[in-house]
Amino acid sequence: MSTLVEIRDVSKTYERGKQKVEVLHHVNLDIQKGDFLALMGPSGSGKTTLLNLIGGLDSPSGGSISVGGQRIDKLGGGALAKWRAANVGFIFQFYNLLPMLSAQKNVEVPLLLTALSAAERKRNAAIALQLVGLADRASHKPTELSGGQQQRVAIARAFVSDPSLLVCDEPTGDLDRQSAEEVLGLLQVLNREHGKTIIMVTHDPKAAEYAKQTLHLDKGTLVEQAAA
């Protein structure tokens, strides 16, 4: 297995007024291609911050991050946006679907940034919805779907443009046990059958069991644990 994500000596400092707070301290981490990594840790330990750095939503204050050999900490805003469109899919705790659009149209949104034709966008989104088991809900608006269904639509949206990396911040945090298991099962399929590398922040040890490996973050420092 080759290394997909290479995090070297990364720190992140936020400024609160005049005060500077270092949220991540010299983090080092390698994530292999095809891995399914669970990231656990107490609230405020910096999990979301680390995830945002890996996903190219934010830039580190120090150190370097390479994804697939590309130094994303060196990319500027516009280039980083392009990089995200091609390489990462995001899944959030509260789904974050566009409320005015149908499930189908929500899944098509990332494809607007590709060169695909309208017909191809439609077809690819339909296939993605089929894969998450919601083909029959394609025309439903988010408010007409349950939390678990909305999260599955969000997952379809995250992988429809075929990124190598899926980044999930507490994807089951708002779901009941059964819906959570459906969502986790889906992530597992995407990891095993479709080779997606997944990094998932979770509070739930049961959720972490779906991952191949679990890491713990405490006060901005990684505490490595044995593989699950």
Partner 1 sequence: MKYLHLIWAALFRRKTRTILTLLSIIMAFLLFGMLDAVRISFAEAGQSANGAERLQTGARLSFIQTLPKSLTEKIAAVPGVKDVAFANWFGGAYQDPHNQVFTFAVSDNYLDVYPEVIVSAEDRKAFADDLNGILAGEMLIKKYGWKIGDTIPLQSQIFPNQEGSKNWSFKLVGVMSSKDGRAFQSGMIILHWKKFDETTPYNQGEVGWYVSRVTDVNQADRIARDIDALSANSDHETKTQTEQAATRNWIKQMADIGLIVTSIMGAVFFTLVLLTGNTMMQAVRERTNELAVLKTMGFSNHKVLGLVLGESVLLLLLGGAIGLALVSVIGAALPAMSGGMINNTHVGISSWVVGIALATGIGLLIGALPATRAMRINIVDALAGR
Ligand X SMILES: Nc1ncnc2c1ncn2[C@@H]1O[C@H](COP(=O)(O)OP(=O)(O)O)[C@@H](O)[C@H]1O
Report in angstroms how near the CB of residue 146 gets to partner 1 at its nearest. Answer: 20
Instruction: By CB under 8 A, tell whether 46 contacts partner 1.
Output: no
Residues that bind ligand X (CB under 6 A): 14, 16, 23, 41, 43-49
Which stretches of 7-71 are DSSP H helices? Answer: 47-54
- Identify the bridge partners of residue 197 per DSSP, sorted by sequence position: 165
Q: Identify whether the C-beta of residue 180 lies closer than 8 Å to the C-beta of residue 104.
A: no
Q: Which one-letter amino acid corresponds to residue 68?
A: G
Q: Which is nearer to partner 1, 96 or 221 (CB)?
A: 96
Q: Which does 45 bind (CB under 5 to 8 A by kind): ligand X, Mg ion, partner 1, none?
A: ligand X
Q: Which of 7, 10, 48, 183 binds Mg ion (CB under 5 A)?
A: 48
Pairwise CA distance, residues 96 & 90, whole Å: 10
Instruction: By CB under 5 A, tell whether 172 contacts Mg ion.
Output: no
Report in angstroms how near the CB of residue 88 gets to partner 1 at its nearest. Answer: 8
Pairwise CA distance, residues 98 & 110, whole Å: 12
Q: Report helix, strand or coil for 183.
A: helix
Report in angstroms how near the CB of residue 13 gets to ligand X at its nearest. Answer: 9
Question: What beta strand segments (E) does the chain contain?
Answer: 3-16, 19-32, 36-40, 62-67, 70-71, 88-91, 165-169, 197-201, 213-218, 221-224
Q: Which stretch binds partner 1 (CB under 8 A): 2-10, 39-47, 95-103, 176-184?
A: 95-103
Q: Which of 41, 46, 55, 171 binds partner 1 (CB under 8 A)?
A: 55
Q: Which residues bind partner 1 (CB under 8 A)?
A: 48, 52, 55, 57-58, 77-78, 81-86, 90, 92, 96, 98-101, 105, 109-110, 112-113, 118, 157
